[in-house]
Amino acid sequence: MQDSRKAKHIRVSEKRQITIPKSFYDTLGIGSEVVCELRGNEIVLKPLPQAVDFSTEILEELIREGYEGETLLSEFQKRKQQIRPAVERLVEEAKEIAKKTIENDDDNTELLFGDVKE
């Protein structure tokens, strides 16, 4: 197995700014933002995951529900704002379940994936 780690020495400016090497930037497809994590005594930068846009699905559902005109626009904006918090809650719940599973040495694979056929 080939180690995919690469390292470069970079300078930190007086304003605590760094420049990500172009080859790293291009390889990871970094946009205008990254996630910065503090892990022990390390700083880890990761590309910000691209947000999934559910606009089409939201609009289709609203139209099926009979919304139109200004109420369609208003309800669309309301529901679109609810997506991110809902996804964040799901992610946190999944992390908590995974943490408890590891702590308790439980194997919930059958419970979670028992209905999935190969």
Q: pLDDT per residue over 63-91, tens digit each?
A: 999 999 999 999 999 999 888 888 888 88
77 and 94 co-located in one domain:
yes
Whether the CA torsion 82, 88, 89, 91 is positive or negative: it is: positive
Is the pLDDT assigned to residue 47 strictly greater than 80? yes
Q: State which residues form the domain around 36.
A: 10-49
CA distances from residue 28 to 3, 18, 109, 114 in whole angstroms, order as listed? 16, 17, 32, 35
Whether 28 maps to a domain, the answer reads yes
Mean pLDDT of the chain: 84
The backbone torsions φ and ψ at residue 106, rounded to the nearest 5 degrees and listed phi first, read -85, 150
60 and 105 co-located in one domain:
yes
Beta bridge partners of 38: 43
Q: Each residue of 20-45: pLDDT tens digit?
A: 999 999 998 888 888 888 888 999 99
Whether 3 maps to a domain, the answer reads no
- Total count of domains within the chain: 2
DSSP 65: T
Residue among 94, 95, 61 at smallest CA distance from 78: 61
31 and 69 co-located in one domain:
no
Residue with tokens 């947000």: 51
Residue with tokens 């626009």: 73
